[in-house]
Amino acid sequence: MPVAVVSGKCKDLMEIIKELDEYFLRAADSGGMLSALLEVPKCMFSDQQSSGKLSGYGKSLNPFMCSWNSSQRFNGFVKFGCDEMTVDGVPIPGSHGSTVERLYEWERKLYDEVKNAESLKIEHEKKTEQLRKMEIKRGDYMKTEKMKKEVEKLESRMTVSTQAIESTSQEIIKLREAELYPQLVELVKGLMSMWRSLYESHQVQTHIVQQLKYINIVGTSKDGTTEMHRQSTLQLELEIQQWHTAFCNLVKSQRDYIQSLTGWLRLSLFQFSKNPASQNKQDSAIYTLCEEWQLAIDNAPDKVASEGIKALLSVVHAIVVQQGDEQKQKRKSDSIFKELEKKMTDLRSMETKYGTGAGPLSKKMDRVLDKRAKVEALRVKAAEEKGRYEKSVGVTRAMTLNNLQMGLPHVFQAVTGFANVWTHAFESVCNQAKILEEVHDVKRLMN
CATH number at residue 443: 1.20.1270
Q: DSSP character for 84?
A: E
Q: Please check whether residue 53 lies inside any domain of the structure.
A: no
CA dihedral sign, ordered 159, 165, 168, 170: negative
- Higher model confidence: residue 396 or residue 68? 396
Q: Please check whether residue 244 lies inside any domain of the structure.
A: yes
State how far the Cα of 84 lies from the Cα of 92, in Å rounded to an integer.
6
CA count, 13 A, side-chain hemisphere, 102 = 21
Q: Please check whether residue 261 lies inside any domain of the structure.
A: yes
Mean pLDDT, residues 99-111 taken together: 94
22-53 pLDDT, tens digit per residue, is 999 999 888 887 888 887 765 533 443 444 44
395-429 pLDDT, tens digit per residue, is 988 898 899 999 999 999 999 999 999 999 999 99
Q: Which domain holds residue 428?
A: 225-447
State how far the Cα of 411 lies from the Cα of 304, in Å rounded to an integer.
9
Mean pLDDT, residues 275-293 taken together: 70
391-426 burial, b if ≥16 CB within 10 A, otherwise e?
ebbbebbebbbebbbebbbbbbbbbbbbbbbbbbbb
Q: Please check whether residue 357 lies inside any domain of the structure.
A: yes
CA dihedral sign, ordered 153, 159, 161, 167: negative
Q: Please check whether residue 90 lies inside any domain of the structure.
A: no
State how far the Cα of 58 lies from the Cα of 205, in Å rounded to an integer.
15
Q: Please check whether residue 245 lies inside any domain of the structure.
A: yes
Q: Which amino acid is at 141?
A: Y
Q: Please check whether residue 305 lies inside any domain of the structure.
A: yes
Mean pLDDT for the chain overall: 80
Counting the structural domains of the chain, the total is: 1
363-399 pLDDT, tens digit per residue, is 667 777 888 888 889 889 889 988 999 898 989 888 9
Which residues 6+ apart lie within 8 Å of 124 measured at CB? 151, 154, 155, 158
State how far the Cα of 243 lies from the Cα of 248, in Å rounded to an integer.
9
Q: Please check whether residue 197 lies inside any domain of the structure.
A: no
